[in-house]
Amino acid sequence: MLLLLFVSLILLDISNAQIFGFGRCAQVKTQETFDINRYLGTWYEIYKFKANFEGNAKCISANYELKSNGHIRVHNSGIENEQIKEATGDAYIPDPKYPARLGVKFSNLAPYGRYWVLDTDYTTHTMIYSCTDILGIFHFTYAWILSRERTLDQSVTNRLFSKAASFGIDTSNFLKQDQTGC
C-alpha cells in the first residue's frame, strides 16, 4: 500500500510537468517528405502543451543549426522575470526512412526524446508532437505550434488544430504563448 501511494505521488508530480493521459499515445502520422535543411533557422512558439521546463517564459524561440556531424544544434530562448532563459540541445534523425521523426535532448545524461514534425511548410509554420508511452498504461505528451514570425494566421492555426484533432490529440491542451514586447 505504501508503494502504491509513493508511485501515485510521483506520477502526480510528473503529470503536473506535462500533459498526462491514460492509455497509449495518439497514433499520429509525421510529414512524409521532410527536408531538414529547409527547416533550419529560427521559429517562434505560438502554442504549446504545458511544459514546466519552459517555466513562465514569454517570447520563446527555437533556432536550429546543422552541425558538422549531421546533428542539429537546438538553441531555445525566452524571457522570464525580465531575464533571458536559454537551453541548448542536440537533435538528429535516427532513421532516414522517417526524416520527420527526430530525436532531441538537452542533457548528456538524458535519452533522446521524440520530436516528430506532423506538419510544416518551412516558411510559415510547423507542428511538433512528442509523446512517451509508459508500459501502455499511461503517457506523457508535449506539442508545439511554431511560426517563422511572432504571429500566425488564424486560418493556419485552425487547420493545424483540425489536423491534430484528427489524430486524437486533445487540442484544448494547447496554450497560447505571449510573443509581445519581445
Q: Is the pLDDT of residue 89 over 90?
A: yes
Q: How far is CA 14 from CA 17, 22, 23, 77, 139, in A?
A: 5, 14, 16, 23, 11
How many CA atoms, within 13 angstroms, populate the side-chain half-sphere of residue 145?
Answer: 26
Query: pTM score > 0.75 for this model?
Result: yes
Which pLDDT band holds residue 54 (cuts at 50, 70, 90)? low
Q: Is the pLDDT of residue 17 over 80?
A: no
Neighbours of 37 (CB within 10 A): 8
Q: Does an H or E element contain 139, and which? A: strand 138-147
Q: How many residues does the chain have?
A: 182
Q: Is 173 left (phi over 0), alpha (psi -120 to 50) or beta?
A: alpha
As a 3-state breakdown, the chain gives helix, strand, coil percent values, each rounded to 5, of 20, 40, 40
Q: How far is CA 121 from CA 33, 34, 134, in A?
A: 11, 9, 32
16-38 average pLDDT score: 81
Which pLDDT band holds residue 164 (cuts at 50, 70, 90)? very high
Going from N- to C-terminal start, the domains of the chain cover 2-176
Report the topology of domain 2-176. Lipocalin (2.40.128)
> Three-state SS string across 75-101, please?
EEEEEECCEEEEEEEEEECCCCCCCCE
Which pLDDT band holds residue 132 (cuts at 50, 70, 90)? confident
